[in-house]
Amino acid sequence: MNEREARAAWSGLVEPGDPVAGALVAALGPQEALALVERAARDGERAALPAFGDASRERLRRSVDGWARRWVPDAARGQLDWLARLGGRLVVPGEPQWPVPLDDLGPARPMCLWVLGQDPAELLARAVSVVGARAATPYGQHVAGELAAGLTDAGVCVVSGGAFGIDAVAHRAALAAHGRTVAVLAAGLDRPYPAGNARLLAAVAESGAVVSEVPPGHPPSRHRFLLRNRLIAAAGAVTVVVEAAWRSGALSTAGHAVGLLRPVAAVPGPVTSAASAGCHRLLRDGAACVTDAAEVLELLDGTPAAVPDVSLPTDGLGPHERIVHDALPVRGERSVDALTRMCGLGVADVLAALGGLELAGCASQRAGRWRRSRPARPA
Amino acid sequence: MNEREARAAWSGLVEPGDPVAGALVAALGPQEALALVERAARDGERAALPAFGDASRERLRRSVDGWARRWVPDAARGQLDWLARLGGRLVVPGEPQWPVPLDDLGPARPMCLWVLGQDPAELLARAVSVVGARAATPYGQHVAGELAAGLTDAGVCVVSGGAFGIDAVAHRAALAAHGRTVAVLAAGLDRPYPAGNARLLAAVAESGAVVSEVPPGHPPSRHRFLLRNRLIAAAGAVTVVVEAAWRSGALSTAGHAVGLLRPVAAVPGPVTSAASAGCHRLLRDGAACVTDAAEVLELLDGTPAAVPDVSLPTDGLGPHERIVHDALPVRGERSVDALTRMCGLGVADVLAALGGLELAGCASQRAGRWRRSRPARPA
């Protein structure tokens, strides 16, 4: 059995994110570690165990006992055959198609990825995760669609969980913008979940990829959903939550992103909307407030988003200039003497302010009498 | 002329927030400083000036020149008479009715406050400023009303600027909750601005107060509005912006609050609403995200707001307990042996997890066969 087959087998033995399995495989390599499970399945508690790392021998024995009970010889071969028939591939750590961002998960890194679609390493080289409520509102759907389209236009891959609501909108908007998107599933690839999104997931696999860390045949479970969220958080360089109730799986994804020291952003919404309560909770806990794709790109690239140019010519005025400007008539003209009385400023200060205003194009004079003027705005 | 009259006169000579005047009055006292202006009005540039502080003599001469041009003997007396006839009062620093939070403004502290209504020191002992757009949306009006009512119920005085939109809603909601509210105006008290809010401002003065730092007879100006905002920021221990366009006077109030090291909070809104763009700008710049009065009180008092109790019995479960819980049937029962195979866990781990689940009320057994159960929720 080669390393790929051993990792495929491991992905069927362990529950996602099992750190004991991760550490054992890292220490012994997947094949030798698997041989240990195989021996335990055959010999039970008499099978010898190595001492390794921090995990105590007792902890290891309990875990090996569990994996051994799931051990079915050659189970992975059938699953790999199924994947190959659909044109999919198994991707394992260290090979060029392995997405290195997942390595940040440490011992909770997946054993392998079951992939339908394109090269996940390439897709996830520049990616943002967009997640949110299944029970999304029209507002959330609108914003998620705009965000995903804007990210796609900037060449960013949109990662999500393939669920109803925000996830589905994010995937669809990326596809509609002729972009690439990755769906990370909690169950085996033979069980697109939810079934209502099966066609969407097939489209995602066309130009992007649908991936899972559990082998075909494995059903989703609550635990697998929660642990799947760590993959979504690791796959995107930034995680954006568009709508989330006070309790929401999207918040677990955000929590994983925080643990990975990845930026977390939340889209605000009406405080009267329960569907935004989780986003506001994140904002209170320090998530970045984002309102459009440009602001997400700012987090991704560290470059400031362009701000709307709504500056006024009077913005740069000092206090004296502002006071004198307030006193300048729009129609007619006013003498310096009259201005000093109105402004409560000395002649020298009024003359200095008028000079500044004239330079800024905000004042003009005729024979020593002054009026307000409107500067030409730069094109 | 006593100190009160001298300060009243000063308030008519200087534009709000003039730091040179503030420093001069602080150094010489209002009466002696005023005598200097009086001499300059009479003798012009020949009038002797003291050397004082950091302000250069030339800077001081220019300023005194300006104040002297506004000097009208006894102008303050008529203004004070007008105020007395309406039952108002002049409040000056140092007396018991002076609101000490304004002292944080340093040399930009007002010379005095012209007050119609109740004792401003008492009103502002526990106060929050609620400001926002004049062009408020129904959403913003709803939220401002809820916030002001909630703050009022907690015994907090609501400070605002008496303008249309968010300001007016905040004042009205405080009054409707039988609370106290303070309006800080940019013009003299004889010119309630905007005129359409004259009745509202009269009601504010009944139970709370309407205050201004400029004397009766003085019109509003753009400069005075901007400087008035520093008083609103100083009067509230927290400043909350409910709705604000990308450019909005409310942002200048928030900027003053930041300068005073007071907490600034912003209420999020739909990212599709231009009326919330300024709030989101504040959130991106570090303002606290608040969604209700309880969260504002948290900033005011430093006590955490109660969070909705939506915890589930399964929240505290460890990973093994979660995996086993997923595998427990809701109907029927399952043996430990079957559970170990489903979970990929050893017998010892499954038994330990079942023990934890049983203690939490999430699992029950009969003759060694297990099922999921639903714990009684605490009342």
Rounded Cα gap, residues B106 and A24, in angstroms:
65
Q: Which residues contact B43 (CB under 8 A, 6 or more apart)?
A: none
The nearest CA of chain B is from the CA of A196 a distance in Å of 23
Contact A63 B139 (CB under 8 A): no
Contact residues, chain B, for A187 at CB < 8 Å = none
DSSP H or E segment with residue A242 = none
pLDDT number for residue B379: 42
> Would you say residue B308 lies in a domain?
no
Question: Cα separations (Å) of A164 from A141, A161, A253, A297, B223?
Answer: 11, 9, 16, 25, 53
Contact A267 B271 (CB under 8 A): yes
Does residue A242 sit in the same domain as residue A357?
no
DSSP summary character for residue B241? E
pLDDT number for residue A368: 86
Does residue B131 sit in the same domain as residue B18?
no
> Would you say residue B95 lies in a domain?
no
Compare CB distances from A344 to B66, B288, B346 and report the shortest one's residue: B66
What are the backbone angles phi and psi of residue A128, rounded to the nearest 5°?
A: -125, 135
Give the chain B residue whose CA is nearest to the CA of A304.
Answer: B284
The CATH number of the domain where B296 resides is what?
3.40.50.450
> Would you say residue A307 lies in a domain?
no
- Residue numbers of the domain that contains B332: 313-372
Interface predicted TM-score (ipTM) of this complex, two decimals: 0.85
Average pLDDT over residues A265-282: 97
Domain end, chosen from B55, B73, B91, is at B73
> Would you say residue B337 lies in a domain?
yes
Does residue B345 sit in the same domain as residue B289?
no
Contact residues, chain A, for B344 at CB < 8 Å = 13-15, 66-67, 69-70
Does residue B133 sit in the same domain as residue B223?
yes
> Would you say residue A82 lies in a domain?
no
> Would you say residue B196 lies in a domain?
yes
pLDDT, tens only, B74-112: 999 999 999 999 999 999 999 999 999 999 999 999 999
Least confident residue range of A201-205, B36-40, B237-241: B36-40
Does residue A53 sit in the same domain as residue A104?
no
Contact residues, chain A, for B295 at CB < 8 Å = 284
Contact residues, chain A, for B44 at CB < 8 Å = none
Contact A269 B270 (CB under 8 A): yes
CA atoms B235, B239, B240, B243: torsion sign: positive
Compare CB distances from B344 to A61, A66, A327 and report the shortest one's residue: A66
Does residue A236 sit in the same domain as residue A167?
yes
The nearest CA of chain A is from the CA of B70 a distance in Å of 6
Contact B323 A221 (CB under 8 A): yes
Picking from A223, A203, A167, the residue whose alpha carbon sits closest to that of residue A14 is: A223
Does residue A237 sit in the same domain as residue A352?
no
pLDDT band at B61 (very low <50, low <70, confident <90, very high): confident
Does residue A124 sit in the same domain as residue A7?
no
Does residue B153 sit in the same domain as residue B241?
yes
Does residue B116 sit in the same domain as residue B211?
yes
> Would you say residue B182 lies in a domain?
yes
Determine which of B224, B242, B271 to mutate to test the interface with A (most A C-beta atoms within 10 Å): B271
Domain end, chosen from A281, A301, A321, is at A301
> Would you say residue A39 lies in a domain?
yes
- Check residues B105 and B318 and name the one with the higher pLDDT: B105
Does residue A253 sit in the same domain as residue A219?
yes
The CATH number of the domain where A350 resides is what?
1.10.10.10
Q: Quote the number of domains for chain A.
A: 3
Does residue B47 sit in the same domain as residue B131?
no
Contact B344 A70 (CB under 8 A): yes
pLDDT, tens only, B167-193: 999 999 999 999 999 999 999 999 888
pLDDT, tens only, B206-232: 999 999 999 999 999 999 999 999 999
Q: Which residues of A77-92 are buried (b: 16+ CB within 10 A; e: fewer)?
A: eebbebbeeeebbbbb
Rounded Cα gap, residues B201 and B195, in angstroms:
10
Contact residues, chain A, for B66 at CB < 8 Å = 340, 343-346, 349-350
